[in-house]
Chain A
Amino acid sequence: MTNKEYESYYVPSQSHWPIVGAVALFMIAFGAANYVTDLSKDQSGYGGYLLLAGIALVIYMLVGWFKDVIRESLAGKYSHQMDKSFRQGMSWFIFSEVMFFAAFFGALLYLRVFSVPWLGGAGNNAATGAVLWPDFVAQWPLLSTPDGTTTTAMGWYGLPLINTVLLMTSSVTAHFAHSALLNNNRKALKSWLGLTIILGVAFICFQVLEYSHGYSEEMRLFLDSGVYGNTFYLLTGFHGMHVTLGCIMLIVMWFRILKGHFTPENHFAFQAASWYWHFVDVVWVMLFVFVYIL
């Protein structure tokens, strides 16, 4: 290592963004907790406003914080080592997101494999089934719960299939955009990234449409329609929130590209957004298999 020149690692001086972000998170958490508590008591309070103000403050913080980072990056303060820190940080963040979804997939599998069959008397639970809810029939999707709530299942064909095609295509176009960036082909980069964003927005629109079908009088598939509705809406809902966040990231990248940011060598932010996009795509494939098809 003696003949290798040492690059200095940029340690930023003080920043007020973290404390702004901490206050914002407090407002979100405290506001949301108040809002939810008031809701359960049919009261109205300041919770909702505090929550919205917190979200606004978080957006303000993120814009300001990222502006600082972009300015430092454009000023050439970031070494190769710093770039690696960012990349590794983003990878582990995505891993933590994977584990978040794992909790919900784990719940889904447990409900399907254990709890619903057990309620129907499987294993050594014959007495449970006979005593608690004798008329309950264990099946998946669980269209009729032990306490008698009924619903219908969302098929995999139609909108979900279209959405699968859209999102998988967008993962490919995001990859083409990255290749174009590496080849310094800015025109192709803009087109492919633009197409990715359009596909992502279309996915979100179709998802909203699908939810409106679920909440219609014919389907009656609600969030509180027993464990089928619970897992359906929480899994697809959290995925949809992540797609929305990914879309916002990509849109920000698009505007940065219009401003001439990123080079074939230096484009961590673009890389991170694209990784995130591939991640939401993989989660969707898992969802399509375990929530819709099986």
Chain B
Amino acid sequence: MTTDVIVQDSHDEHHDDSHEHGKMTGIKRWLYTTNHKDIGTLYLWFAFIMFLTGGAMAMVIRAELFQPGLQLVEPDFFNQLTTVHGLIMVFGAIMPAFTGFANWMLPMMLGAPDMALPRMNNWSFWILPFAFAILLGSFFMESGAPNFGWTFYAPLSTTYSNGSTAFFVFAVHIMGISSIMGAINIVVTIMNMRAPGMTYMKMPLFVWTFFITAYLLIAVMPVLAGVVTMLLTDTYFGTSFFDAAGGGDPVLFQHIFWFFGHPEVYIMILPAFGIVSTIIPTFSRKRLFGYTSMVYATSSIAFLSFIVWAHHMFTTGMPLFGELFFMYCTMLIAVPTGVKVFNWVATMWRGSLTFETPMLFSIAFVILFTIGGFSGLMLAMTPVDFQYHDTYFVVAHFHYVLVTGSLFSIYAGAYYWLPKWTGHMYNDTLSKWHFWCSLISVNLLFFPMHFLGLAGMPRRIPDYALQFADFNKWVSIGGFAFGLSQLIFLVVVIKCIRGGEKAPAKPWDGAIGLEWTVASPAPYHTFSTPPPQADIDQADQHEH
């Protein structure tokens, strides 16, 4: 088996697209597909559509908050918007986008012909649009959409529910089934489909982060299914899990929810670490600094994510021992996270850096994610959290890690692999516009939220006291600018699919990895036979 043969294969397939084994045309191709690249594309487009939908809701929220008083929407509808905005961005945008990356890239990075369980792969994608159809459909029902926050705390979602709880619960069940099947597929693919000679410690760090993320998903999505089931029976079948009158406790809800919820936030950031750890070495023209320590740091973060959940609940009146335990464990997470940040910086140290758009987004990621990490450390301190809890400081914190963290890494990854996906280079000027507009507006959007929170502005309210007016105006302006900037990305992607400069197999000269040994665009089927050992050794991210 030599490289020539692979290139030959891919060359043939590229010219023979429509006639080759199993590729249908039209809508059936997408409905019936078992191809990891098709399914990856579906995931990515779905995620982007959901991102724009959730973003539109955020625009309405920011328009209402532009000035004090109630201008545009009723308070109850405002609550529905904040709830569904959160649910969509978490379960509909960030998570499916990462699954899209996993689908597209894992088989190519591992030298595998496809995902391990291709039909189930299709199923786990196609149930997602239906789940969001139910969730979004509830806007048009008598009850209205869920209005109890994306964290759906009892008793807001039980005793005081507007009647949307059942639709919410069953939609979440389907999202959970989708995530679990997707995660099982990722784990099995990585454990069983690595090309001969690719040992675990030779896998790209990207693969490692998805591996660990998938474990987290399999472990905690069933817990989410359990808690929404208890919510359903509490609301409709008279159980009292979260009702003290029957012997239960509303705080029990928060414990189970955050036992899912904290690993969940790492599910949304570990893949980002993987993407950035791929891109920074490429444009620094060096190997990743401390590959092995990155693997151990990622594993440590995953382990710690299971024993820090109650730091979301410092104000519930936990016993003092609990407050201290969860405070110290939470602070401990800063150690492996610091290892990662220092490793990225050390990778860039004395490298020959160039600033292509993926690199710009990655560097912004490192700096801005670190800001989000630091505000997380502040929130981890029990005594000060008593002041920060449920204020805009929390909103600022998690938007820094999720927007300038996860979302920026998704953009970085999208620009990095667009040439591989489409066969064309993206429009460089427009992509730079996208980056700079996003960078400036996102900080205008989220940075003043820190001050608002510290000054005591509570989250999840449609109206606020006068003294918060100035900051809120700037935040809203930043919000609209950030929202508009994302449309540039849509234009870049569509232009890139339709044409543009032809991309070579390896458009980035510092890039390593098996995905660059196949043609651009990647042929419909890749690695039907495993890659040669020399290619695998070349793709090794360790420093030599």
Contacts and interface: CB of A to CB of B under 8 A. Distances in A.
A284 B254 CA distance: 27
A210 B202 CA distance: 55
A6 B196 contact: yes
Interface string A106-131: 11001100111011000110000000
A99 B113 CA distance: 31
A19 B31 contact: yes
A92 B169 contact: no
Given A12-B34, A89-B117, A99-B218, A37 B167 contact: yes
Interface stretch (B67-75, B224-232, B463-471): B224-232
B539 to A, nearest CB: 16
A33 B169 contact: yes
B122 interface: yes
B174 A107 contact: no
Interface stretch (A157-165, A183-191, A223-231, A267-275): A223-231
A228 B245 CA distance: 13
Given A1-B533, A119-B247, A145-B246, A16 B119 contact: no
A197 B219 CA distance: 30
A2 to B, nearest CB: 8
B249 A118 contact: yes
A118 B248 CA distance: 10
A11 interface: yes
Given A115-B247, A147-B246, A33 B167 contact: yes
A146 B246 contact: yes
Interface stretch (A80-88, A167-175, A200-208, A213-221): A80-88
A242 to B, nearest CB: 13
Contacts of B313: none
B244 A107 contact: no
A110 B525 CA distance: 51
Interface in B237-289: 237-241, 244-249, 251-252, 255-256, 259
B116 interface: yes
A97 B223 CA distance: 9
A270 to B, nearest CB: 19
A185 to B, nearest CB: 31
Contact of B123 (A14, A22, A119, A223): A22
A286 to B, nearest CB: 15
A142 B114 contact: no
**Interface class of chain B by DSSP:** helix
B247 A228 contact: yes
Contacts of A21: 123, 127
Nearest to B177: A25
B528 interface: yes
Contact of B122 (A18, A34, A116, A142): A18
A36 interface: yes
A29 B34 contact: no
Nearest to B245: A147
Nearest to B1: A6
Interface string A66-102: 0000000000000001001110110011011111111
A228 B248 CA distance: 10
A149 interface: yes
Contacts of B222: 96-100, 102-103
B19 interface: no
B34 A15 contact: yes
Interface in B152-176: 163, 166-167, 169-171, 173-174
Which has the most chain A C-beta neighbours within 10 Å: B112, B180, B251? B180
A19 B131 contact: no
A279 interface: no
Nearest to B221: A96
Nearest to A15: B119
Nearest to B191: A88
B20 to A, nearest CB: 11
Interface string B106-139: 0000001110111110110011001101100000
Contact of A230 (B117, B240, B319): B240
A223 B196 contact: no
B332 interface: no
B114 A92 contact: no
A96 B34 contact: no
Given A85-B116, A92-B188, A226 B233 contact: no
A106 B31 contact: no
Contacts of A250: none
B256 A103 contact: yes
Given A1-B196, A9-B112, A26-B133, A100 B223 contact: yes
A132 B31 contact: no
B529 interface: yes
B240 to A, nearest CB: 6
A147 B170 CA distance: 30
A168 B94 CA distance: 44
Given A1-B196, A25-B130, A84-B192, A223 B237 contact: yes
A234 interface: yes
B21 interface: yes
A110 B256 CA distance: 10
Contact of B22 (A4, A13, A28, A102): A13
Given A1-B196, A19-B122, A89-B184, A37 B143 contact: yes
A18 B239 contact: no
Contact of A93 (B127, B184, B220): B184
Contacts of A14: 22, 24, 28-29, 32-34
Give the top 9 A-B pairs by smallest Cβ distance, nearest first. A103-B226, A224-B238, A13-B22, A14-B32, A115-B249, A1-B196, A18-B123, A26-B130, A29-B170
Given A88-B187, A145-B246, 20 more contacts: A6-B1, A6-B196, A11-B34, A11-B114, A12-B119, A18-B119, A19-B126, A21-B127, A33-B171, A81-B193, A85-B117, A85-B188, A89-B185, A106-B259, A107-B230, A111-B252, A115-B244, A146-B245, A146-B247, A234-B239
Interface of A: 1-2, 4, 6, 8-9, 11-19, 21-23, 25-26, 28-30, 32-34, 36-37, 39-40, 65, 81, 84-86, 88-89, 92-93, 95-104, 106-107, 110-111, 114-116, 118-119, 123-124, 132, 142, 145-147, 149, 223-224, 226-230, 234
21 contacts: A6-B529, A6-B530, A9-B113, A13-B22, A14-B28, A14-B32, A26-B134, A33-B166, A40-B166, A65-B119, A84-B192, A93-B180, A96-B219, A99-B220, A103-B223, A107-B226, A110-B249, A115-B249, A224-B239, A226-B246, A227-B239
